[in-house]
Structure 1
């Protein structure tokens, strides 16, 4: 079971929050001289300059350096260990992709036979024309006419969900949307949080009982939208291209709009308190907010936000 540490949000950002938390909780001091400390799955926080362990017993990894035979943190973040390798995963950092990751991105440029996509990584990702689902079947050959109609599929500013397929020689990731569960996003709202707060799950497509769908992109981009029934999605063969690649949002009723706004605000509150997101945590947070009959704007009040995080602690 992964536990998480909460602390009040402030305009100073995550770094100031970590500093205040460490000043008020002496139990969070990082000490890795004993191997038993690594057997716990607790989220351990550290600040730049903190001594972590002896360099004689462990090797330094990313986010650390060696000073006077000690491994020292060079960034503010969470401490991780793989065998004898100690690393610090920064709180604020760009997304580090892996093959098979689910990401949410925004089209930044249309180029010959490819699109450039902002996926919160160190450089734009690439979506090739040959890696998208086009009318007439997934496996059909891409023609010159398809290249001339690329802006009918995706254009600058469009949001999409895709999967990391491979990497180019320069390190840029190659995406694909060959399944109808991937593709253009509509009828929702984008929420951006630090990628470190998105846990790897069996499925990053989540449906809440309130009629809201979530896509938890591992790059820290989260899409909150109206629920789409499985019967509303066409089959892979002969799908309705105008519906799949449409830029028009559907009419959304007022209760659904309120549910989307509530879920969005809950994500902002949890991210401000450095709570990692999972399907279980999001469901429990939503149920708590409904039980307390808190209005959407009321969730941003400090006492309400702290009560929400405390309720998640009590249930974990």
Structure 2
């Protein structure tokens, strides 16, 4: 079985306590080179509040999260200021996940329909997983027939968790997902964490394996760009990507494997590290999670128990907020 942990809103730290902390600048600094070009501001970010004047509307165009008042571009939300050439926009600090093609997401099946599943993926609307976009048990690649449609609930039923990739968008903006790769599919043997999507960075790979001594077989972490993070029992690389030893017939199994106490403790400890970083608004990365787990072991804290707030804050300050 799995459990769900909801991350509380992130507290704020004083300016200068973190290399990741947003850089505060005057409103009219947008006219300089500090903001840079491109789709984001990179390391230099300006936080603006609702109603704050950003720059002149005569020189710049207003984008999402802004409006024009008295010939000025004004922020409509609290968020980070972004500039693309002459287009100024504000990305809200708290918002739903905005998907892009190729994103890795974690979702929950909420409805089984005709030739498709409806998936809740922490976005503005539910995603859709077509029967034609999944691997059949055994990894068989063939055209889906009527008998496959009759067995859809045997593959994925309401309440099942899965990891998938954003394939395309429908005309109404809903995501179309696929699980054709053997590293995608139903999730088992772990627990789900729900984070603000802004805390999950775009990485080269969103599948991360912490090897032993993080439990006898290690711990697997899947960082969904939609803010859902899956922490589970570790598996071998070949088992995860369809190599020798891959259980092709067990892809759609509903029962969890037997997990030994040491592995359970390691899973809980990794989840505690992720929740501590998220609670303090620190963006996640695979190396940071590994450093956090090693920090727990170095402190000789009792494994498998909730992390005290003071210990979590001390870990964040030492690993992520030190100059």
Tell me whether the two structures share a fold, i.e. TM-score over 0.5. yes
Please give the alpha-carbon distance, in whole angstroms, between the structure 1 residues aligned to 2:33 and 2:297: 40
Is 1:288 matched with 2:295?
Answer: yes
1:277 maps to 2:268: no
Q: Which position in structure 2 is the counterpart of 1:172? A: 174
TM-score normalized by the length of structure 2: 0.84
Partner of 2:24: 28
In the alignment, the residues of structure 1 paired with residue 87 and residue 220 of structure 2 have an alpha-carbon distance, to the nearest angstrom, of: 38
1-structure distance, mates of 2:107, 2:158 = 11
Deviations 1:8-49, CA, capped at 9 Å, x for gaps: xx97x35xx45x857x99973453244232146134333222
Local SS of the residue matching 2:205: coil
Taking only aligned residues, the RMSD between alpha carbons, in angstroms, comes to: 2.8
Distance in 1 separating the partners of 2:320 and 2:263: 28
- Which residue of the partner structure matches residue 101 of structure 1? 103
Return the structure number with greater helix share: 1
- Paired position in structure 1 for 2:160: 158
SS in 2 for 1:228: coil
Cα deviation, 1:76-127, whole Å, max 9, x if unaligned, reads: 2222222222222112211111111100000000001110000111111110
Q: TM-score, normalised by structure 1?
A: 0.85
Unaligned runs of 5+ in 1: 1-9
The equivalences for 1:11-90 within 5 A come to 13-14=9-10, 17=11, 21=14, 28-31=24-27, 32-39=29-36, 41-90=43-92
User: Is 1:299 the counterpart of 2:307 in the alignment?
Assistant: yes
Mapped partners of 1:27, 1:182: distance in 2: 38
Q: In the TM superposition, what is the alpha-carbon distance from 1:292 to its structure 2 partner?
A: 1.9
Are residues 71 and 132 of structure 1, via their aligned partners in 2, closer, same or farther at CA, if it must alter by over 3 Å?
Answer: same
